[in-house]
Amino acid sequence: MAADARNHVTGEYSTLPSHAPAPGQGPARTAAPAPMALPEAEGPRDAVTRLHAHGCWYPSADPEGTQVAFICDRGGVPQLWSGPVDGEGIRLLDSSPDPVKEVSWSPDGRWIAYTTAPGGGEHSRVLCVRPDGTGRRLLAGADPETSAYLGCWAHGGSAVAVTLAAPATARSQADGLWQSADAAPAHWTARDGRATLLGTTVYAMGPDGTPATRPGGGLSAYLIDPHGLASPVLLATEPDAPTLRVCDLSPDGRLALLRRGPRGRREAVVRRVSDTATTFTLPVADGDPWIGRFSPDSRTLWLRSDAGREYAALFAVALGPDGTADGRTVVAEREDSDLELLTMAHDGRTAVLAWNVRGASELDVVETSPGPGAAATTGPARPVPLPHEVVTRVAAAGAGRLLLALSGSQRRPGVWWAHEGVSLLRTPWSSRDEDAVPPGRPPVRPVLTRLTARDGLALSGWYYRAPGRAPNEPAPCVIHLHGGPEDQERPVFDPLYHELLGRGLDVFAPDVRGSGGHGRTFVDADLGTGRFAALDDVADCAAHAVTAGPADPTRLAVMGRSYGGYLTFASLVWHPDLFRTGVAVCGMSDLLTFFAGTEPWIAESAAHKYGHPERDRELLHALSPMSRVDALRAPLLAVHGEHDTNVPLGESEQFVRAAREHGVPAELLVLRDEGHDFLRADNRRLFRRAAADWMERHLHPS
């Protein structure tokens, strides 16, 4: 049936190829997967092990907006649930222990597509299930050497877009180094100010111990029929791209909106479905991958972009009959705030805009007015009051109704819904605010704190004061550093912070340079040699915690996860007399060995942020904590997931080993069945308690 593949965008039959092209006709692509039936895995309406204070997030509604599928960890691991928006009768749709990452209900209401991470690692699969829990099947990612990523649905619901990452392939060896046979796209190696360093391949260690290229297998995006009755239709192949996601398909079936490229260099790409020709590209901001949507008449593309701007805004791109751009206009913007989330309502004519305002969210609803022969516009913004600080996702839920995933400093993540003109209402199955923590110790509301780095750059962070201390009483303090580096510290409830505060420890969580939410210049301020200034930022933030906290200068600790774990390792050796101890979680200790072991797409993006493992080898060595481990003085706890292929476990192992060889106390906690993110409730609890025990023991709070 492959020769008579159905075009799932238009519903017509065509002869589009679904597998690799003939020799000489283009780059090899990942073979399209076929749906694979799985045993039924519907669970009971109540989880076997229910968490009293659970989180619910990533909602996706059925076409009528009365039922919603969402992710919930009430069973101890993020799983797929569904139920009524305004009722208690929810059910577990997949009882397997693999954590769920994303959810999308089909426009025709027949299927719910979702991604899982088998074993909690970085490998991902795309599955689908009927809303009643039957018909569960695997769409892509069955091979453990590949990963699959969920894209959008075709507007009729007959197919879902899936991106498949091919496994890395062996290449011929030349001069002792593994070399890529693929040429790098010219625009990915340019140094244009927005990105001063950019790599194109993954790097392995050659026979002589030097870094060498180890290419990945590329990315291919397909439309897949969940029924398995028609062959997949190829939408795009990117042999060198670190990321590729199908964000939308035009209602008339002619165009696809793709998001591709490495961190800091993302692009929106419009392609014709008929011949896969690219008709339009525009740089877009990092952050939420769902960057835009076509208008109902397919003549306007609404896009969240920071092209030529300090902060992301809403763009309207006028499209001609062939998909080329006839012009673009900024139709909604704020002077000092990023447009963080863009969602189009059910009718496709109402935009919901979530703005990042110094870490908190502000929500606007605007009417959009595209029109042939006239410039696209938006009506006046209608603000939507929020009961909590941060919006993490907005989803349309039928005519005039929205679903919002919210987080805040006083609550667990939950889902709220609103009909147009009506206040937001919490869904009955989301945790209540009073259930965020056990009775007797309410969450601490953080205070936004501003400071100036030694080179004059403005920094900020959130200070959490341990309860029960006098206002000016010095307290032991943990400087906690987020990952990314482009992540941002947000005023949301963090069980780790709650655990540390309960031990009498203050927490200061800053945004050092390179963090998101503060403009493009701030994000790019840590590129290349700018990372040395980011290390200075950590010391400046610690000093500010002492003067403004007030933190006890003799009882400071540093802690962070992912890039924050790297900063923890680095801060302990760059500022050996500043911190009494540290906890590094899933951090890089040697940037060269990190490039050698990480996933292909991660290395592709990381080279832009940190440096090229061949051209910038000396810089990466100088930035690596392992190069200065002999300066380490403070005891260290390293924590890592055993299945982490983002930052491999060896990064923590080698630093702990070196610390011990230098006579410094160091321990390593390896969490089983976890990857780069700790997703299982028992492991998260173990991690929090182990980290707090370590801090309490070494900071000796009174």
Please compute the mean of the pLDDT values over residues 139-166 and round it to a whole number: 90
Task: For residue 52, give the 3-state DSSP assignment.
Answer: coil
Burial class, 270, CB count within 10 angstroms (exposed 0-12 / middle 13-18 / buried 19+): buried
b/e code 550-573 from CB counts within 10 Å (16+ = b): bbbeebbbbbbbbbbbbbbbbbbb
Q: Where are the alpha helices (DSSP H) in 243-294?
A: none
**Bridge-partner residues for 323, per DSSP?**
none
Backbone angles phi, psi at 577, to 5 degrees: -100, 5
Distance CA 607, CA 199 (A): 5
Q: What is residue 431's predicted lDDT score, i.e. its pLDDT?
A: 86
Distance CA 81, CA 318 (A): 39
321, 315, 313: which is closest to 297 by C-alpha? Answer: 321
pLDDT in tens, 457-491: 999 999 999 998 888 899 999 999 999 899 999 99
pLDDT in tens, 220-247: 999 999 998 888 999 998 877 788 999 9
Q: What is residue 280's predicted lDDT score, i.e. its pLDDT?
A: 95
Distance CA 300, CA 284 (A): 17
Q: Give the pLDDT band of residue 349 (cuts 50, 70, 90).
A: confident
Q: What is residue 56's predicted lDDT score, i.e. its pLDDT?
A: 93
The three-point CA angle 143-145-147 to 5° equals: 75
The three-point CA angle 514-517-518 to 5° equals: 70
pLDDT at 67 over 90: yes
- Which strand (E) or helix (H) includes residue 236? strand 233-238
Residue 602: both structure tokens together: 């991660």
More confident site: 439 or 431: 431
Query: In this predicted structure, which of 567-571, 577-581, 596-600, 616-620 has the lowest mean pLDDT?
Result: 596-600
Q: Give the pLDDT band of residue 401 (cuts 50, 70, 90).
A: confident
Q: Are 560 and 617 in contact (CB under 8 A)?
A: no
Q: What is residue 374's predicted lDDT score, i.e. its pLDDT?
A: 60
Please compute the mean of the pLDDT values over residues 154-183 and round it to a whole number: 59
Q: What is residue 199's predicted lDDT score, i.e. its pLDDT?
A: 30
Q: What is residue 448's predicted lDDT score, i.e. its pLDDT?
A: 94
β-strand pairing of 475-481 with 551-561? parallel
Q: What is residue 170's predicted lDDT score, i.e. its pLDDT?
A: 37
pLDDT in tens, 663-702: 999 999 999 989 899 988 899 999 999 999 999 999 975 5
In the block, which residue shows the tokens 């993006």? Answer: 605
Distance CA 437, CA 497 (A): 12
Q: Give the pLDDT band of residue 89 (cuts 50, 70, 90).
A: confident
Q: What is the 3-state secondary structure (H, E, C) of 515-565?
A: CCCCCHHHHHCCCCCHHHHHHHHHHHHHHHHHHHCCEEEEEEEEEEECHHH
Please compute the mean of the pLDDT values over residues 379-408 and round it to a whole number: 89
Q: Are 280 and 324 in contact (CB under 8 A)?
A: yes
pLDDT at 541 over 90: yes
Q: Give the pLDDT band of residue 42 (cuts 50, 70, 90).
A: low
Q: Are 505 and 699 in contact (CB under 8 A)?
A: yes
The proportion of the chain whose per-residue pLDDT surpasses 70, expressed as a percent, equals 85
Q: Are 268 and 291 in contact (CB under 8 A)?
A: yes
The strand ranges marked E within 130-232 are 137-140, 147-153, 160-165, 173-174, 177-178, 202-205, 211-214, 219-224
Q: What is residue 29's predicted lDDT score, i.e. its pLDDT?
A: 66
pLDDT at 440 over 90: no
pLDDT in tens, 359-371: 999 999 998 876 5
Query: In this predicted structure, which of 217-231, 243-257, 421-435 has the lowest mean pLDDT?
Result: 421-435
Burial class, 265, CB count within 10 angstroms (exposed 0-12 / middle 13-18 / buried 19+): buried
Q: What is residue 368's predicted lDDT score, i.e. its pLDDT?
A: 87
564, 554, 605: which is closest to 584 by C-alpha? Answer: 564
Q: Are 567 and 573 in contact (CB under 8 A)?
A: no
pLDDT in tens, 517-536: 999 999 999 998 999 999 99
Distance CA 158, CA 113 (A): 12
Q: What is residue 373's predicted lDDT score, i.e. its pLDDT?
A: 53
Q: What is the CA radius of gyration of the chain?
A: 25
- Which strand (E) or helix (H) includes residue 104? strand 100-105
227, 345, 340: which is closest to 295 by C-alpha? Answer: 345
**Bridge-partner residues for 394, per DSSP?**
404
pLDDT at 189 over 60: no
Query: In this predicted structure, which of 116-130, 169-183, 315-329, 438-452 has the lowest mean pLDDT?
Result: 169-183
Query: In this predicted structure, which of 32-46, 111-125, 532-546, 627-641 has the lowest mean pLDDT?
Result: 32-46
pLDDT in tens, 583-614: 999 999 999 999 999 887 788 778 888 988 88
Distance CA 1, CA 273 (A): 20
The chain-wide mean pLDDT, for the chain, equals 84
Q: Are 371 and 320 in contact (CB under 8 A)?
A: no
Residue 642: both structure tokens together: 């055993």
104 C-beta neighbours (distance < 10 Å), count: 22
Task: For residue 614, give the 3-state DSSP assignment.
Answer: coil
Q: What is residue 7's predicted lDDT score, i.e. its pLDDT?
A: 35
In the block, which residue shows the tokens 């400046």? Answer: 540
Q: What is residue 20's predicted lDDT score, i.e. its pLDDT?
A: 38
pLDDT at 212 over 50: no
96, 94, 92, 98: which is closest to 74 by C-alpha? Answer: 92
More confident site: 442 or 446: 446
pLDDT in tens, 287-307: 999 999 999 999 999 999 999
Distance CA 274, CA 258 (A): 15
Helix and strand numbers (H, E) in the chain are: 9, 42
Please compute the mean of the pLDDT values over residues 94-101 and round it to a whole number: 91
Distance CA 338, CA 330 (A): 13
429, 379, 377: which is closest to 403 by C-alpha? Answer: 429
Q: Give the pLDDT band of residue 439 (cuts 50, 70, 90).
A: confident
Q: What is residue 211's predicted lDDT score, i.e. its pLDDT?
A: 39
